Amino acid sequence: MEVQKTALYNYHKSLGAKFVPFAGYEMPIQYSDGIVKEHISTRTFAGFFDVSHMGQFFLEGDQTLDKALEEIIPADLNSLKINQSKYSFLLNDNGGIIDDLIITRIDKGFCIILNAACKVNDIKQISKHLSSEHKHYLNSDLSLIALQGPKAVEILEKLIPNVSILKFMNGNNFKFNGSKIYITRSGYTGEDGFEISIPNNKVEILIKLLVNNKVKPIGLGARDTLRLEAGLCLYGHDLNEEINPIEANLKWAIAKKRREKGGFNGWKKIKNYLDNGCSKIRVGILPEGRVIAREGVKIFSAEDKEIGKITSGTFGPSINASVAMGYINYDASGIGNKIKLEVRGKKYDAKISTLPFYKKSYVK
Amino acid sequence: MSEKKFSKKHEWVELNGDVATVGITKHATEMLGDIVFVEVPESGKFIDKDGQAAVVESTKAASDVYSPISGEVTEGNKLIVETPESVNSDPEGVSWFFKIKVKDYSDLDTLMSKAEYDKFVEENAS
């Protein structure tokens, strides 16, 4: 497969980006500031992220489309208002997570933001539930930019009047440089911010304006430390087809009505987990000291019994501590419970922590 | 104190009497990015030439630090364990990794001068 580049590739280069191959794309891992500074810039001012590698999947249809999508997505789409977004997933027949996503109701139907590495398979899986009446297409003429941080709203309001009216997980159409663009108030960093869907031929104009307003470019490296501090899952690491939303501690993302009434892939299994509990669950983990527990690190009980595995781990610059997430036996998952992590053959003390590690309030 | 000598694995060595101070180069820190965790050897530990001696971890990944010379460790640098980010700011000064009592001085002959190392880095830059 040929390596793909986003519309901003050359501009990233001019900003000092170091690129890595990611899900078939050449993406910036960091810029000249480096991961820690980029992380802090996002938490204290504002940063932009090129997430154009993610799929922007559009669906059009009548109410039968709601029904069709509800077979594979456990959100309450029927109650989803126009311009409202929800975090949800695609589920397989076992209730395993095919992908996690953000779905927004727009004119004529829905827009779903899909992970880059999963988007081709996702569309195949979604299509199985659609009828010939339902139109669908992946729009690669659009870029996707996340603008995140406490100053995001003030800066974007200057460039695009009235975006500050948007509430968290709500979107709308706006005008920019003669083009129609769609903005949602959302993100994946634990900060207030926006995701901006904008034509490829206009994205560089917008980014240059952001940079003129001192917004920093942020690479995939800091995106990972930011989302992990915020306790958010990364597909392919913390989530996969073998894990269901209950084990992933994402019960809240399945609408209550849908938990009870079902009618989606894997519901029986999920209902069983809801009623009887599951044997393992995703937790936050705080290692003592500074040791970093990365993906694959084994978790042991105080009595040296192997009880789980780390799925994400890094150093959290905003809390100045090592942070991790992983799956452990349900019995050992109590907050504050002492565990051990095996890193390079040595065992280090750690404890189960609440999530998120870093908390900021969203604008509601 | 002698002039610094350099290894192909991006460590530096500085001899002072029969004890050598070992650290990682500025170039190494630039490749690693932000350093967030360091583990140094305890004094009394014997390390063979090119043996694994310390661990340095950046936001991106963990890497081993090797000892360019054989000998017994006399001290690990506590400063960098407590403030790993100091390795980024002064890798070839206060942020050395460990001190080692030299066993075989010929180990030092296999290392590069500053000029040779700079050339080596330039030639291996991608």
Task: Report the residue of B34, B40, B81, B82 to disrupt the A interface, i.e. the one with the largest count of A CBs within 10 Å.
Answer: B34
- The closest CB to that of A290, out of B59, B62, B84, belongs to B84
User: Are the C-beta atoms of A145 and A50 separated by less than 8 Å?
Assistant: yes
- pLDDT value of position A359: 84
Structure tokens at A347: 């065992």
* Residue A360 pLDDT class (50, 70, 90 cuts): confident
What chain B holds in terms of domains, given with CATH numbers, is 5-104 (2.40.50.100)
Does A35 contact B62 at a Cβ distance shorter than 8 Å?
no
The alpha carbon of residue A213 is apart from the nearest alpha carbon of chain B, in Å, by 26
Q: Angle at Cα A268 formed by Cα A266 and Cα A274, nearest 5°?
A: 105
CB contact under 8 A, B60 and A292: no
- pLDDT above 80 for A43: yes
pLDDT digits (tens, 9 = 90+) for B52-91: 999 999 988 889 999 999 999 999 999 999 999 999 999 9
Give A120-163 pLDDT, tens digit per residue. 999 999 999 999 999 999 999 999 999 999 999 999 999 999 99
Rg value, chain A, Cα = 20
Q: What's the rounded Cα separation, in Å, for the pair A314 and A318?
A: 12
Q: Determine the longest span between alpha carbons in chain A, in angstroms.
A: 65
**pTM (2 d.p.):** 0.91
| Predicted pLDDT of residue A363 | 58
What per-residue confidence (pLDDT) applies to B1? 58
Q: With contact defined as beta carbons under 8 Å apart, do A328 and A280 qualify? A: yes
- The C-alpha atoms of residue A283 and residue A323 are separated, in whole angstroms, by 11
Q: pLDDT tens digits, residue range A92-131?
A: 999 999 999 999 999 999 999 999 999 999 999 999 999 9
**β-strand partners of A19:** A28
Cβ within 8 Å, pair B36-A344:
no
Mutate one of B36, B37, B56, B87 to test the A interface: name it (highest A CB count within 10 A). Answer: B36
Q: Per CB distance under 8 Å, which residues of B are interface residues toward A? A: 33-34, 36-37, 39, 55, 57, 59-60, 62, 81, 84-85
CB A140 within 8 A of CB A129: no
- Counting residues of chain A whose pLDDT is more than 70, the rounded percentage is 99
Instruction: Give the DSSP per-residue string, B32-89.
Output: H-SEEEEE-PPTT-EE-TT-EEEEEEESS-EEEEE-SS-EEEEEE-HHHHH-TTHHHH
Mean pLDDT of A313-337: 96
Chain B nearest C-alpha distance from A172 (Å)? 36
Cα separation, A151 vs A47, in Å, equals: 9
Q: Residue A313's closest chain B neighbor by CA? A: B59
B23-40 pLDDT, tens digit per residue, is 999 999 999 999 999 999
CB A171 within 8 Å of CB A115: no
Q: Which of B34, B62, B84 sits opposite A35 (nearest CB)?
A: B34
Question: Which residues of B fall within a CB distance of 8 Å from A292?
Answer: 36-37, 57, 62
Q: Which two tokens stand for residue A82?
A: 């126009």
Q: Say whether the peptide bond before residue A356 is cis (omega within 30 degrees of 0).
A: yes
Residues of A whose CB is below 8 A from B84 = 290
Q: How far is CA B71 from CA B7, B19, B45, B102, B103, in A?
A: 16, 9, 8, 5, 5
Mutation site for B-interface testing, chosen from A19, A227, A291, A312 by largest number of B Cβ within 10 Å: A291
Domains of chain A: 1-277 (3.30.1360.120), 279-364 (2.40.30.110)
